[in-house]
Amino acid sequence: MPPEVHPFPPPPRRRRWRIFLVLMLIFIAAVVGGGWWALSTNQTGHLISRLFSDRLPGHLEIDHSEFTGVDGLVLTGVRLMRQRGETPAVTIPRIVISGELWQGRVNQIRIEGLQFDATYDSVRFIHQLIKVEVAIPPPAGTPRLRHFDFTGGVSVNGEVVIDKAQVGVDATGPKIMVEGTANYAGKRIIVEVKTSGIHEEFTHIKMIDGSLPVWRSCDWLAALKLLPELPQEARAWVPEHADLANTVVIADRAWEHFTGEARARWTTGHGQAALNIDRRFVRLAELKIQDAGIITLNGQAVIDTDERKVAVSATSWSPGSRLPIPAMVPTAAILAAMPRAQLDGALISGAWDLQLKLSGTGETALAWSAGRPLSIDSKGIALSLLQPFLPRELTLAAGSAQLLHAEVGANGLNVATATVEQARVLWQGWALGGLDGQVVLKVVPTGIDLDVTLPVMGKASWRSTEAGGRLEIDLDTAEALVVRLKGPQVLPALSGAILLDAKIRQTNTALLADIVRLRLKEVGITDGLRHLDNELSGTVSLHGARANAHVLGRITSGEVRIANVWHNLARHRPRFNAEVSLANGLLLADNILIRATNAAGDPLIDGYSAGLRGSLLLSELSGTIHSVADHADLDWINTLIPNNDSVFGGEGAVTVTTVLQHGEIDSIKGHFLPLDAHLRLGQFFKATGIKGAVEFRIARPTAATPLK
């Protein structure tokens, strides 16, 4: 057979090597060309960006990517934003990634010059990114150690807050260890971060060293709507800087809930608290603050960032010298009575509305806001706590307020209303005590206006005027007032109802009362006067321990007790004009004029008229009274005679001197000009049709002096 012939005979051996060499050159050219194309067109960067967008929210842009050998990759111009085309939240000039990259292993990442522009939107975007990232399950297999290095800073709305930051991170899966330093508002801080828990659910952030600007930090947090805004007026007593060394904050995996222990020191004091922070609330438990200028406090606090409210409760506290408490507030006395406190504040239209609630033996709520007076509402507090708010001439010496409302302005008390128990009030040397009732006090330009309602006694009011004031008293039971009223004058034991309307004037030497109206109904003085109905007017003046009175009035009912016998004072309804004085319990009658009237109150032409003067020691009802009368009713005078065997009758003009001893008539001596008079002495002497002037003297039967 002829030999087999192949259409393509195999090449000789030398030609095979040439073909292999050409194919290798073509492969290498393809790899190099493909690598050059990938690098020159930033395909690695695009790949990383796509992988990021597929895995996490937001948009990642990388300007350039470059391999440095087989174990290094450099990314430049890195920007992270919420959506394409927006201002980047994070910019990174350069990222260096190293490791066995051909095997997909990354050992170290160095991030150089990171800048985070914190705004309200960017902070919430980063928080959303963290929530999504931590929700992604970790890759299978044993995690490997990776190291990260960061440099850069943070700005808030364009203002640099953190710069020159240098951070080192060791991460093994979810387990991380961080050490970092930075300048925070120009001052150096050192921070340590580590994770803990079975699945590394918590992140511990510890401030190793660092002093933070307090109110500037509050401004930045307020700009990010993480805290309420700190008002300008509060900055004068908030520390400018606070050292937060050894403060520890623990964040959950999603960075939505934070706990820990805050410690702070500042120039004038120090404080600490247990932290509990979530998206809405900042809670400070076991809060302790020691600052003589601000406050000393043991308690807790809650900040509501959504409602812009603050609540601070204290089991014990004392305000510092820099707190804006009005000078007239008796702080020490209030704290002794009500040591517990609750402060609630709400930020409204850039200003704080504050309410301070105090509790202990009583309860008090103080509320104030911009442009409004301090408001006080209390239950069961001692009235003495209100003393600093009152005018000097009015003193609250005892008692309690079951309910109290008061408003205090820049110049002191504006108005106060109270329901009081066992109150004791001192004014102008007088003391009125044991009062239960309601009081309304208002400060006016001329002094105070006062309304008092006392269920046991009645009611009273005082209206201040330029010259003094106007006093109105309507007493249902005068004895209830007298027993409670003490002063420089000894008051008689009054009973009955009294209505007084008087204008009060203060002179250099005396306190004057112009009595517009004084109505007495069923008024009595124990064992001396009873059933007195009277209406009068006049003037009363107080000169230290002495009182003078000039009054005009008319008696329509009443009886006086003389010689153990009650005598009618209202026979012929006498009208009187009296000038009397009272000093040290001694009543002096300088001039008392009396005249009989008819039912209409007009003088009777043929009725009696009389004048009296004398003195009477009220405590003993002892003294001497001189009187003169025309058309005297001798039948009435007869009732004054202590000897039943001696009887006068008829009418006459009489002058009488009466001596009283311990409420009894000791003697009567005088003269009378009879008009139609008769006299009987014993059983054997009887005289009628008496004419001329008759002198007489009548004394007790036991008296040694014979009758004249």
Residue 64's contacts (CB-CB under 8 Å, 6 or more residues apart) are 42, 45, 75, 76, 77
Closest alpha carbon to 356 in 343, 375, 337: 343
Question: Could you give the 3-state DSSP secondary structure of residue 113?
Answer: strand
H/E run at residue 12: none
Closest alpha carbon to 247 in 270, 223, 268, 215: 270
68-79 exposure pattern, b = at least 16 Cβ within 10 A, e = fewer: eeeeebbbbbbb
User: What's residue 604's pLDDT?
Assistant: 81
User: What's residue 444's pLDDT?
Assistant: 87
Calpha distance 182→115 (Å, rounded): 13
378-411 exposure pattern, b = at least 16 Cβ within 10 A, e = fewer: bebbbbbbbbbbbeeebebebbbbeebbbbbeee
Whether 326 and 374 have beta carbons less than 8 Å apart is answered as: yes
Calpha distance 6→493 (Å, rounded): 156
Instruction: Tell me the DSSP string of 123-192.
Output: HHHHHHHHHHHHHSPPPSS---EEEEEEEEEEEETTEEEEEEEEEEEEEETTEEEEEEEEEETTEEEEEE
Question: Could you give the 3-state DSSP secondary structure of residue 459?
Answer: strand
- How does pLDDT run across 55-112, given as a tens digit for each residue? 678 888 888 888 777 678 888 888 888 888 888 988 989 988 888 776 667 788 888 9
Instruction: Tell me the DSSP string of 233-297.
Output: GGTTSS-SEEE-TT-EEEEETTS--EEEEEEEEETTEEEEEEEEE-SSEEEEEEEEEEESSSEEE
Whether 586 and 615 have beta carbons less than 8 Å apart is answered as: yes
Stretches where the chain sits below pLDDT 70 are 1-55, 70, 102-104, 134, 136, 138-143, 233, 324, 489, 562-563, 633-650, 675-692, 700-708
Question: Could you give the 3-state DSSP secondary structure of residue 683?
Answer: coil
Long-range contacts of residues 432-440, Cβ cutoff 8 Å, at least 24 apart: 432/481, 432/484, 432/485, 432/486, 433/397, 433/398, 433/484, 433/486, 434/484, 435/399, 435/484, 440/415, 440/416
Calpha distance 204→193 (Å, rounded): 5
Residue 295's contacts (CB-CB under 8 Å, 6 or more residues apart) are 289, 317, 318, 319, 320, 323
DSSP-derived secondary structure letter, 429: T
Q: CA end-to-end span of the chain, whole Å?
A: 207
Q: Strands 241-243 and 72-81, how do they pair?
A: unpaired
Calpha distance 601→597 (Å, rounded): 5
Closest alpha carbon to 41 in 63, 20, 18, 16: 63
For the record, the structure tokens of 1 come out as 């057979």
pTM of the predicted model, to two decimals?
0.59
Closest alpha carbon to 462 in 476, 475, 452: 452
Calpha distance 274→262 (Å, rounded): 6
Instruction: Tell me the DSSP string of 525-567.
Output: ETTTEEEEEEEEEEEEEEETTEEEEEEEEEEEEEEEEETTEEE
Whether 402 and 383 have beta carbons less than 8 Å apart is answered as: no
User: What's residue 597's pLDDT?
Assistant: 85
User: What's residue 31's pLDDT?
Assistant: 42
H/E run at residue 324: none
For the record, the structure tokens of 318 come out as 């004392």
Closest alpha carbon to 444 in 422, 418, 463, 458: 463
Instruction: Tell me the DSSP string of 575-615.
Output: EEEEEEEEETTEEEEEEEEEE-B-TTSPBPTTS-EEEEEEE
Beta bridge partners of 238: none
Residue 557's contacts (CB-CB under 8 Å, 6 or more residues apart) are 531, 532, 533, 570
Radius of gyration of the chain measured on its C-alpha atoms = 51
- Find how far residue 539's CA is from the centre of its chain: 44
Neighbour count for residue 573 (Cβ, 10 Å): 20
H/E run at residue 490: none
Residue 678's contacts (CB-CB under 8 Å, 6 or more residues apart) are 648, 649, 650, 686, 687, 688, 689, 690
User: What's residue 299's pLDDT?
Assistant: 93
Q: Strands 664-681 and 430-444, how do they pair?
A: unpaired
User: What's residue 650's pLDDT?
Assistant: 65
